[in-house]
């Protein structure tokens, strides 16, 4: 979903809004207003906006007392212009009617080894604290389970059920990885298309959000599930083989193309939505510890999760 915002503030706020994918607009068409209360001109601009337009405000120390005195909810008050601070606030004030809730997210790649399972695991971990989340591994690999620190049951036991696979069945086989986050599907075999589809449907009954770790974009399972989900993320390197794969694949409309260890802003003429930095160190630290990626790569995962949260109810 695209969120339209009136930006009342300086360049810092505008940059943050752009990073969050907000579309700058005027009062009449806006869903929200972003207002920097530290800026006198911004206050004057905001004062003229319609009063029923939801506001998210950025304050400094001086404004804190006024905001508290007015009883303005903490929910709409940020103490910095950072996208990570504003994203969740924006999500919480968006009028319910304007939300076309994203509930299912599929992560795939132009080719193998691009960091798909790592991205899926780290997004699921970041979404789970606010939304009951199911991480669904339809790759048949062990990556997602490993990064979530859980050993899910394999698909073979569900294969006989196919279309009859229900939320109750899935609840039995899904393992709780961390609080609010369940995991279903794992090695040694990938599921059939029918079971993968049924698991996604059942997962949406069982949990608020489903994050699918899918094989690369050319796989039938990926194509079928990509057509069912609300948001597709396609990871890609900028090497010639990945570019050739991208150029010849049918990318789902509205897919976010995510650069993997690349700084390119466009590939095959398509805009790169966000890029993940290369960071062997952050990955090694996570692998040797709690398996949650931090550092610069973790911050990039945070930002993507925040953007997805804007699209969820
Ligand atoms: N941003 C990154 N920087 C450095 N190494 C990465 C990054 N993302 C993934 N990797 C490495 O790439 C390998 C494959 O990651 P994985 O998530 O299993 O890929 P996929 O699921 O696409 O096959 C892993 O060993 C991981 O350590
Ligand atoms: Mg994988």
Instruction: Give nearest CA residue, ligand 1 atom 5.
Output: 280
Determine the Cα–Cα distance for residues 313 and 311; give it in Å rounded to an integer.
7
The answer to whether 126 and 88 have CB atoms below 8 angstroms apart is no
Determine the Cα–Cα distance for residues 202 and 253; give it in Å rounded to an integer.
24
Confidence at residue 25, expressed as pLDDT on a 0 to 100 scale: 83
Task: Spell out the per-residue pLDDT of the chain, length 313, in tens.
Answer: 568 899 999 999 999 999 998 888 887 778 899 999 999 999 999 999 988 889 999 999 999 999 999 988 888 999 999 999 999 899 888 865 455 578 999 999 999 999 999 999 999 999 999 999 999 999 999 999 999 999 999 998 888 887 789 899 999 999 999 999 999 999 999 999 999 999 999 999 999 999 999 999 999 999 999 988 989 999 999 999 999 999 999 898 889 999 999 999 999 999 999 999 999 999 999 999 999 999 999 999 999 999 999 888 6
Q: Please state whether the peptide bond connecting residue 188 to the residue before it is cis, i.e. omega within 30 degrees of 0.
A: yes
Tell me, using a 6 A CB cutoff, whether residue 279 lines ligand 1.
yes
The set of residues, in sequence order, having a beta carbon less than 8 Å from that of 265 and lying 6+ positions away, is 271, 272
* 3-state SS assignment for residue 229: coil
Determine the Cα–Cα distance for residues 140 and 135; give it in Å rounded to an integer.
13
The answer to whether 10 and 34 have CB atoms below 8 angstroms apart is no
The answer to whether 114 and 278 have CB atoms below 8 angstroms apart is no
Question: What is the Å distance from ligand 1's center to 299 Cα?
Answer: 16
User: What's the pTM value of the predicted model, to 2 decimals?
Assistant: 0.74
Tell me, using a 6 A CB cutoff, whether residue 287 lines ligand 1.
no
Determine the Cα–Cα distance for residues 92 and 108; give it in Å rounded to an integer.
28
DSSP string, 271-295: E--EEEPP-HHHHHHHHTTTS---H
Tell me, using a 6 A CB cutoff, whether residue 116 lines ligand 1.
yes
Determine the Cα–Cα distance for residues 64 and 70; give it in Å rounded to an integer.
10
72 burial type by CB count under 10 A (0-12 exposed, 13-18 middle, 19+ buried):
middle
Tell me, using a 6 A CB cutoff, whether residue 276 lines ligand 1.
yes
Question: What is the Å distance from ligand 2's center to 115 Cα?
Answer: 7
Instruction: Give nearest CA residue, ligand 1 atom 2.
Output: 278
Ligand nearest to the CA of 119: 1
Question: What is the Å distance from ligand 2's center to 240 Cα?
Answer: 21
Confidence at residue 96, expressed as pLDDT on a 0 to 100 scale: 59
Closest residue by Cα to residue 237 from 216, 256, 255, 259:
259
Fold of the domain spanning 104-310: Rossmann fold (3.40.50)
Question: What is the Å distance from ligand 2's center to 33 Cα?
Answer: 40
């Amino acid at each position: 979903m695209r969120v339209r915002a009136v930006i009342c503030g300086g360049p810092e706020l505008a940059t943050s809004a752009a990073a969050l994918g907000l579309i700058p607009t005027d009062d009449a068409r806006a869903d929200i207003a972003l207002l920097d209360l530290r800026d006198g001109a911004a206050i004057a601009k905001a004062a003229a906006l319609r009063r029923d337009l939801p506001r998210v405000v950025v304050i400094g120390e001086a404004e804190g007392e006024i905001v508290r005195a007015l009883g303005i909810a903490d929910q709409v008050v940020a103490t910095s212009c950072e996208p990570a601070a504003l994203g969740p606030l924006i999500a919480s004030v968006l009028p319910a009617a304007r939300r076309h809730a994203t509930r299912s997210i599929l992560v795939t790649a132009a080719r193998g080894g691009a960091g798909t399972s790592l991205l899926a695991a780290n997004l699921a971990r970041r979404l789970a604290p606010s939304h009951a989340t199911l991480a669904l591994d339809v790759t048949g690999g062990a990556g997602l389970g490993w990064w979530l620190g859980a050993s899910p049951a394999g698909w073979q036991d569900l294969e006989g059920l196919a279309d009859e696979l229900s939320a109750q069945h899935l609840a039995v086989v899904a393992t709780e990885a961390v609080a609010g986050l369940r995991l279903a599907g794992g090695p040694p075999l990938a599921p059939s298309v029918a079971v993968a589809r049924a698991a996604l449907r059942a997962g949406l009954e069982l949990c608020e959000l489903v994050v699918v770790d899918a094989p690369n974009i050319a796989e039938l399972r990926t194509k079928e599930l990509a057509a069912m989900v609300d948001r597709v993320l396609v990871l890609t390197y900028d090497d010639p083989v990945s570019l050739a794969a991208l150029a010849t694949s049918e990318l789902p409309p509205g897919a976010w193309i995510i650069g993997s260890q690349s700084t390119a802003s466009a590939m095959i003429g398509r805009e790169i939505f966000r890029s993940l930095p290369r960071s062997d160190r952050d990955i090694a630290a996570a692998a040797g510890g709690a398996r949650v990626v931090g550092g610069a790569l973790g911050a990039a995962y945070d930002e993507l999760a925040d953007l997805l949260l804007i699209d969820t109810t």
